[in-house]
Amino acid sequence: MGTDNLKFTLGDLAHRNFRSDEFWREIPGYKDVSREEFQDHKWQLKNSIVKVDQVKNILGHRCTDAFYHDMLEGQKITPMNIRITPYIFSLINWDDPTNDPIRKQFLPLGSQFLPDHPYYQEDSLHEDIDSPVPTLTHRYPDKVLFLPTTICPVYCSYCTRSRIIGGSTEAVEKETYGFNPKKMQDVFDYIKSKPAVEDVVISGGDAFMLTSKQIEFIGDNLLEIPHIRRLRFATKGIAIYPQKILTDDEWFNALNRVHKKARSMGKQVVIHTHFSSPKEITEWSRLAVDRLFQEGIVVRNQAVLQEGVNDTVNDMVLLVRQLSLMNVQPYYVYMHDMVPGCEHFRTSIHEGVELEKAVRGMTAGFNTPTFVCDLPGGGGKRHVASYEYYDRDHGISVWRAPNVKPGQVFTYFDPIRKLPKEVQARWAIESEREKMIQESIKKAGF
Ligand SMILES: *Cc1c(COP(=O)(O)O)cnc(C)c1O
Ligand code: SF4
């Protein structure tokens, strides 16, 4: 990342351009697809790409043998299956797919993977450990995280829930689940029994994969609990599949009914979505968000900071400004979770802090995302510069989480590849790294 130069250089109005050309027609497999067909949510879902061979067939002569084999190698390592909508697939720059930020997120290459960090965890955020009933995580005093499904309209190769999302891969066995109203009763009963809980994040998986009836079932059941004040449906859909908002009226109306009902009760129903790079934003994104905006449905964005995707000042500022222009509130930018198969994406805490400095002051404060680190071990989200101690040379930060797990110490580690060579050598030896970590914890005052 260009941390030496924190300046935005694209010009003040760069964010006002929203792509509206027929970009998909440059892909051999889609050259005859009309705009009308491409806008149809059913067409997008039906033509989603789930296999490397489909990538090759759709790209035709634009797929080199080397790239094809690199994708096959990637499939042997990745914890996530492939699933991509034609829409987001067509936004990849196929003249240079290796360096493309969208390709990086959805189509892993064998050559890009790095060994996992020695302290990675499959459930880095301890969502399963902090779970009082299956599919529910209760970590914070007044809010819970509910995962009603483990399927998504796309699969991100870096998913923080790769342990459960999207089915087994060559490398990882996992159990996925779908919507199950009987089991959900336990979730509703638990929330009813906790009067302090006011806020439910409905994630997964992805709300786009819930049917209109399921959206209403979950919405109605949660809204009738008197102490519940706020619901958030989490979906990456708006970023990768805006056609659903625009052309699946049944689904849109169901969501809107839940939203209107909540409003009549003085409660909130909002959407949290997940745009990572400005390359994912088109005129379709703007139209989809506008349809929600016209109904008064608030949309916020949560992005993950990733090397080669959004770790430059230009990309991050452009992302923030374009989201703001569409009326999407840039809410969070996360440090990457320390989960398997992600080491090549991770950045250091220092880079996160520098990027936050570069973004702040660029636009309205309420459109300035908070850069956070969701602490490994379930300490919750903390502002990226609020560590108790940070040893940048050793790549070790030490944290507290007074409202979540008071008295407990948390640590986050920068990617080893970014550390000085001699420190990398120390990280290779277990006793040495333990020593470095203990020193940092002591210096933090524990
Ligand atoms: C992120 C998260 C929430 C919501 O936190 P906010 O900071 O309000 O967005 C709730 N529960 C869990 C377990 C979470 O990880
Ligand atoms: S959409 Fe969200 S839950 Fe689904 S694979 Fe991507 S990051 Fe994971």
Ligand 2 contact, 236 CB (< 6 A): yes
Across the range 77-96, mean pLDDT stands at 97
Percent of the chain scoring above 70 in pLDDT? 99
Tell me the Ramachandran region of residue 378: left when phi exceeds 0, alpha when psi lies from -120 to 50, beta otherwise.
left
At residue 189, what is the residue type?
D
Using alpha carbons, list the distances in angstroms from residue 295 to 255, 262, 266: 11, 13, 16
| Residue 243 pLDDT grade (very low, low, confident, very high; cuts 50, 70, 90) | very high
For the segment 341-355, what is each residue's pLDDT rounded down to a tens digit?
Answer: 999 999 999 999 999
Find the Cα–Cα–Cα–Cα dihedral 379, 415, 433, 428, rounded to 10°: 150
| 3 has a pLDDT exceeding 60 | no
DSSP one-letter code for 116: P
Residue of 140, 161, 230, 383 to mutate, ligand 1, most atoms within 8 A of C-beta: 140
Q: Is the predicted pLDDT of residue 2 greater than 60, yes or no?
A: no
CA proximity to 87, closest of 150, 40, 123, 138: 40
pLDDT interval class at 4 (50, 70, 90): low
Query: What homologous superfamily does CATH list for 136-386?
Result: Aldolase class I (3.20.20.70)
**Rounded to the nearest whole angstrom, what is the distance from the C-alpha of residue 224 to the centroid of ligand 1?**
21
- Domain extent listing, the chain: 19-110, 136-386, 387-446
Rounded to 5°, the CA angle 398-400-406 comes to: 145
Binning pLDDT at 50, 70 and 90, where does residue 6 land? confident
User: Ligand 1 pocket test: which of 143, 160, 231, 274 has the largest number of ligand atoms within 8 Å of its C-beta?
Assistant: 143
- Mutation choice for ligand 2 from 48, 50, 151, 152, CB with most ligand atoms inside 8 A: 152
The band of 11, judged by pLDDT with boundaries at 50, 70 and 90, is confident
Q: Is the CB of 390 under 6 A from ligand 2?
A: no
State pTM to two decimals: 0.96
Which two tokens mark 90? 């067509």
- What DSSP state is assigned to residue 92? S
| 313-337 average pLDDT score | 97
Residues with CB under 6 A from ligand 1: 137, 139-140, 143, 145, 201, 381
For residue range 141-167, what is the model confidence (pLDDT) as tens digits?
Answer: 999 999 999 999 999 999 999 999 999
159 within ligand 2 shell (Cβ under 6 A) = yes
Smallest Cα–Cα separation from 242: which of 27, 38, 15? 38
CB of 111 closer than 8 Å to CB of 168: no
Is there an atom of ligand 2 within 6 Å of 207 CB?
Answer: no
Question: How remote is the CA of residue 143 from the centroid of ligand 1, in Å?
Answer: 7
What are 153's two structure tokens?
Answer: 């309209």
Output the residue whose Cα is nearest ligand 2's atom 3: 205
Q: How far apart are CA 268 and CA 133, in angstroms?
A: 25
The residue length of the chain stands at 446
Confidence band, pLDDT 50/70/90 cuts, at residue 5: low
**Shortest-distance ligand to the CA of residue 331:** 1
